[in-house]
Structure 1
Amino acid sequence: MDQLINDFSPGLFIMQALIFLVLLFILAKFAWKPIIQSLKIREESIQDALDAAERAKQEMERLKSDNERLLDEARQEREQILKDARQVANSLKEEASLDAEKQAKRILEDARLAIKNEKQAALTEVKNQVAKLSLQITEKLLRRELADEKAQKELIEDFVKDTKLN
């Protein structure tokens, strides 16, 4: 360092200072403005990119909240649809049960009516058979009893006595 101070030349120093100032003037005149302008443009583009990123972030948050809201609505709608479907299924089940019960009652009533009709027909048939048998027995008894003429006359007289003429 001592050697630098000893080798110091004022003329060289002034010349170097003058060259430095000229270089600084040329740089300020021609280079710094475009450099500063390009730095401003770059700064603006970076700021625009940051603003766009912030807007995109806000848009994503808005879309996310909209998606969550839509998912909640879809879940609620699904639950309502399932609830309605359960109610419809239960009502159909109850309706089918009532219809089956009504149909069973109707079938039982029809069966009772058919049994009653068959019973009535059987009783009528039995009565007819009994009447036929009674007539046949009576006919056989009367033939046996009325085989002689005297018994026939007595029977006719009894009928005439029982019947009163006007």
Structure 2
Amino acid sequence: MNLLEDFSPGLFVMQAVILIILIFLLGKFAWKPILNALNEREEGIADALKAAENAKIEMAQLEASNEAAAQEARAQRDEMLKEAREIKEKMISDAAEQAQEKADKIIANAQEAIEAEKKAALADIKSQVAELSVEIAEKVTRKELSEKDAQLALIDKMLTEANI
């Protein structure tokens, strides 16, 4: 009740006029900059969201590109490994063929040498047999024996001498 007793219409009008002037001044000088700042901030946030979305899309594209590059690199690596295996297998088979050819050549040369030695040994044996036969024939003819037993004993003796 105290409030109603202290009420002054002049003071009320004056405060109303000051309030209207204050609202007018705030509207002219404060509200526009505040609203502009809020609008700019809102636009900045919207731009940042768009930029983030674009970055997300670019990141997805970059990841896809990286994955494609990785797959291509893996394919190239696999191709290189395949070529290396083929080269290794070819080198091994070539080396095996060369080794087989050399071994065959060495075996053929050894067989030829063995055959030559065999022929030489047979020729030597034949010449020795012929010499022995001639010697035996000479000795038999030198001694003309009438008895057959004496001739056989002489031949046996000469054979034993030839074996020594």
Q: 1:104 aligns with which of 96, 99, 117?
A: 96
Q: 1:86 aligns with which of 78, 90, 113?
A: 78
How many Å separate the matches in 1 of 2:76 and 2:109?
48
Kindly tell me the number of residue pairs found equivalent between the two proteins. 134
Name the structure, 1 or 2, with higher relative contact order (CA <8 Å, separation 6+): 2
Give 1:44 deviation, angstroms.
1.3
State the Cα RMSD in Å. Answer: 2.0
TM-score after normalising by structure 2: 0.74
Give 1:34 deviation, angstroms.
4.2
| Partner residue in 2 for 1:35 | 26
How many Å separate the matches in 2 of 1:108 and 1:55?
78
Give 1:39 deviation, angstroms.
2.5
| Partner residue in 1 for 2:55 | 63
Give 1:143 deviation, angstroms.
1.6
Give 1:107 deviation, angstroms.
0.9
Report the identity percentage: 16
Give 1:115 deviation, angstroms.
0.7
TM-score after normalising by structure 1: 0.73
Q: Which amino acid aligns with 2:26?
A: I
Give 1:33 deviation, angstroms.
4.1
